[in-house]
């Protein structure tokens, strides 16, 4: 955000936009929240949006759009083949990423599907800094294996490491040498590493891994879905980038890669996605599959209106005011909560605030899903929905055993330019109340457990009557207040 000082009052994050379209919200009474929570099986994905006061489930497809994006949607050139809107998008994406070829896809996971189909043979590994749920699910479905190479500190919830998404290159090199180059399908780097708290990757680390991939002639693939957040942190935390334009940082990162894919739902504040390629040979392999899975090349499963919005959204990622709003609000909410003793992922990252539930609920064992439990408690206390990012987000292994996540987080996403500071204060206030009453919160168990990506559709119930006790305490402390 622009350098603007406050003289008389304490500084707070200052929005560099104004709100011109609004959506009415309501906070259901406590009794209703209890009912809706039970009906949803303690799973935010089953809640209806109308039953939620502050929707912090995700930043995906729910970022605020700009007036320029909305007006571009009116100009959409609807056509099955050869739409002008598509060529606009292709041009801007290739320009920003410095790539030669573009293939659209209906969203990020569609790119992951294509990547696995084209580049992965059964039994091969995909080394990466850290997995994302859909990326890993596609790799496993194609009978590949995921290996992660963060430094140990990357998995520590509290740390001073500015770039927790960085890769331990020596460990990665040893792995490639041990397994043999042919066992590696491609190396995947995720910018703004989602599941460890939206933590960034340094330009230095992007480069080091690139060098290694060149040495072994391994394809180097960037998941750029959270690149905008990452760039903010490169500029504010990495000396080399401090005086660079956003465009220059993006270019220095992207030129390391053979293939770049992204979820436009996150990166471009529009619902879609796409992939870019340096080599024509790679491009043609992916292009030819597009009509089979996504739709014709010039819309890729997206509405043409979204294609227009995505083109403008991509352009707007070059605006520092735009890309700094999320991280600055996240840092502010993290600061407020940390000051009150709530265990948070630090340093604050992109995409959302992340509560360290291992420390918040030390008495709830991981196989009773502390982050899922805290999530349902927060819905009861505040009508807020977030996302469990811990053991519940893992699937069981092939023997049916729980896979205990390395980090047990409750993520409260801050979709870009959507929530006001007062809404964040309300959320923080209820979280602090929950922290003070954490002894009342117990675990959850499945009543209905899907085999793949169980966090989406699974249903759970509280173990024992802790939710009743929590509700009773809420009534005592809050009286008639919602
Ligand atoms: C880092 C990352 N990669 C890929 C995806 C998948 O993108 P989509 O939701 O558009 O399928 C996401 C979505 O949350 C993500 O955060």
Gap from CA of 11 to ligand 1 centroid (Å): 33
The structure tokens listed for 7 are 């003289």
342-386 pLDDT, tens digit per residue, is 999 999 999 999 999 999 999 999 999 999 999 999 999 999 999
Ligand 1 within 6 A of CB of 165: no
Ligand 1 within 6 A of CB of 190: yes
- Answer yes or no: 80 catalytic: yes
- Answer yes or no: 389 catalytic: yes
Mean pLDDT of 435-454: 96
Gap from CA of 267 to ligand 1 centroid (Å): 10
- Answer yes or no: 109 catalytic: no
CA 226 to ligand 1: nearest atom: 1
Let me know whether 44 and 161 are in one domain: no
Q: How far apart are CA 107 and CA 300, in angstroms?
A: 9
Judged against a pLDDT cut of 80, whether residue 2 lies above it is answered with: no
* CB distance 215 to 300 below 8 Å: no
Residue range of the domain that includes 159: 67-316
Which of 257, 285, 316 is the last residue before a domain boundary?
A: 316
- For atom 4 of ligand 1, the residue with the nearest CA is 108
Let me know whether 300 and 383 are in one domain: no
Question: How would you classify residue 331: left for phi > 0, otherwise alpha for psi between -120 and 50, otherwise beta?
Answer: alpha
Let me know whether 211 and 130 are in one domain: yes
- Please tell me the predicted confidence (pLDDT) of residue 109: 97
Write down how long the chain is.
482
Average pLDDT, the chain: 97
- Answer yes or no: 168 catalytic: no
Gap from CA of 223 to ligand 1 centroid (Å): 9
Let me know whether 144 and 230 are in one domain: yes
Let me know whether 191 and 270 are in one domain: yes
Let me know whether 161 and 257 are in one domain: yes
- For atom 5 of ligand 1, the residue with the nearest CA is 108
Let me know whether 391 and 326 are in one domain: yes
- Please tell me the predicted confidence (pLDDT) of residue 403: 95
Let me know whether 80 and 141 are in one domain: yes
Q: Which residues pair with 221 in a beta bridge?
A: 188, 259
Ligand 1 within 6 A of CB of 124: no
314-345 pLDDT, tens digit per residue, is 999 999 999 999 999 999 999 999 999 999 99
Q: What percent of the chain is modeled with pLDDT above 70?
A: 100
Let me know whether 295 and 365 are in one domain: no
Ligand 1 within 6 A of CB of 193: no
Residue 79 belongs to a domain with what CATH number? 3.40.640.10
Q: Where are the alpha helices (DSSP H) in 56-105?
A: 67-73, 84-97
Let me know whether 254 and 116 are in one domain: yes
119-163 pLDDT, tens digit per residue, is 999 999 999 999 999 999 999 999 999 999 999 999 999 999 999
DSSP 103-163: EEESSHHHHHHHHHHHH--TT-EEEESS--HHHHHHHHHTT-EEEE-B-GGGG-SB---S-
Which of 316, 345, 379 is the last residue before a domain boundary?
A: 316
Phi, psi of 259 (to 5 degrees): -135, 140
- Answer yes or no: 406 catalytic: no
User: Structurally, how many domains does the chain consist of?
Assistant: 2
- Answer yes or no: 223 catalytic: yes
Give the model's confidence band at 1: pLDDT under 50 very low, under 70 low, under 90 confident, else very high.
Answer: low
Smallest CA-to-CA distance from 410 within 356, 331, 359 is with 356
Let me know whether 359 and 254 are in one domain: no
Judged against a pLDDT cut of 90, whether residue 67 lies above it is answered with: yes
Give the model's confidence band at 3: pLDDT under 50 very low, under 70 low, under 90 confident, else very high.
Answer: confident
Ligand 1 within 6 A of CB of 107: yes
Which of 297, 316, 335 is the last residue before a domain boundary?
A: 316
Q: Which residues pair with 159 in a beta bridge?
A: none
Gap from CA of 263 to ligand 1 centroid (Å): 5
- Answer yes or no: 258 catalytic: no
Which entry of 235, 385, 389, 430 is annotated as an active-site residue? Answer: 389
Ligand 1 within 6 A of CB of 273: yes
231-275 pLDDT, tens digit per residue, is 999 999 999 999 999 999 999 999 999 999 999 999 999 999 999
Gap from CA of 190 to ligand 1 centroid (Å): 10
Q: Tell me if 12 is assigned to some domain.
A: no
Q: Choose one of 108, 131, 193, 271 to mutate for the ligand 1 pocket test, by most ligand atoms within 8 angstroms of C-beta.
A: 108
Smallest CA-to-CA distance from 74 within 312, 274, 262, 272 is with 312
Q: Tell me if 118 is assigned to some domain.
A: yes
Which entry of 80, 216, 456, 478 is annotated as an active-site residue? Answer: 80
CA 134 to ligand 1: nearest atom: 6
Q: Tell me if 307 is assigned to some domain.
A: yes
Let me know whether 212 and 229 are in one domain: yes
Which entry of 86, 125, 261, 455 is annotated as an active-site residue? Answer: 455
Mean pLDDT of 70-86: 96
């Amino acid at each position: 955000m622009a350098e603007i000082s406050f003289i008389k009052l304490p500084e707070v994050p200052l929005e560099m936009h104004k709100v011109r379209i609004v959506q009415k919200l309501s906070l259901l009474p406590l009794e209703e929240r209890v009912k809706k929570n039970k009906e949803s099986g303690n799973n935010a994905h089953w809640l209806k949006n109308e039953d939620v006061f502050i929707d912090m489930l995700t930043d995906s497809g729910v970022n605020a759009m700009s007036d320029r994006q909305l007006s571009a949607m009116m100009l959409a050139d609807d056509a099955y083949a050869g739409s002008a809107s598509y060529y606009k998008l292709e041009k801007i994406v290739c320009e920003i990423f410095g790539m030669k070829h573009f293939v659209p896809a209906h969203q990020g996971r569609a790119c992951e599907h294509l990547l696995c189909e084209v580049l992965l043979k059964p039994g091969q590994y995909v080394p990466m800094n850290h997995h994302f749920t859909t990326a890993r699910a596609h790799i496993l479905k194609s009978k590949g294996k995921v290996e992660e190479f963060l430094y140990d500190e990357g998995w520590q919830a509290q740390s001073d490491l500015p770039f927790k998404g960085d890769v331990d290159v020596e460990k990665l090199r040893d792995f490639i040498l041990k397994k043999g180059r042919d066992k590696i399908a491609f190396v995947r780097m995720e910018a703004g590493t989602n599941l460890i708290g939206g933590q960034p990757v340094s330009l230095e680390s992007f480069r080091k891994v690139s060098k290694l991939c060149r040495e072994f002639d391994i394809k180097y693939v960037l998941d750029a879905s959270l690149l905008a957040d990452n760039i903010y942190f490169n500029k504010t935390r990495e000396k080399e980038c401090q005086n660079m334009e956003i465009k220059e940082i993006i270019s220095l990162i992207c030129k390391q890669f053979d293939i770049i894919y992204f979820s436009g739902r996150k990166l471009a504040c529009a619902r879609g996605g796409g992939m870019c390629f340096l080599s024509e040979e790679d491009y043609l392999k992916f292009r030819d599959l597009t009509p089979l899975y996504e739709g014709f090349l010039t819309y890729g499963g997206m509405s043409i209106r979204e294609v227009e919005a995505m083109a403008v959204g991509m352009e707007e990622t070059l605006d520092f005011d735009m890309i700094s709003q999320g991280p600055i609000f996240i840092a502010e909410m993290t600061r407020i909560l940390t000051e009150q003793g709530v265990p948070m992922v630090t340093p604050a990252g992109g995409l959302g605030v992340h509560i360290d539930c291992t420390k918040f609920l030390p008495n709830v064992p991981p196989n009773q899903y502390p982050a899922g439990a805290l999530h349902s408690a927060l819905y009861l206390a505040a009508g807020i929905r977030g996302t469990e990012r811990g053991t519940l987000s893992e699937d069981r292994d092939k023997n049916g055993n729980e896979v205990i996540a390395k980090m047990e987080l409750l993520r409260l996403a801050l979709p870009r330019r959507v929530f006001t500071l007062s809404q964040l204060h309300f959320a923080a206030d209820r979280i602090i109340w929950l922290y003070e009453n954490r002894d009342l919160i117990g675990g959850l168990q499945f009543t209905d457990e899907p085999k793949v990506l169980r966090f989406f559709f699974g249903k759970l119930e509280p173990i024992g009557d802790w939710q009743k006790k929590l509700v009773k305490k809420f009534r005592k402390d809050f009286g008639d207040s919602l």
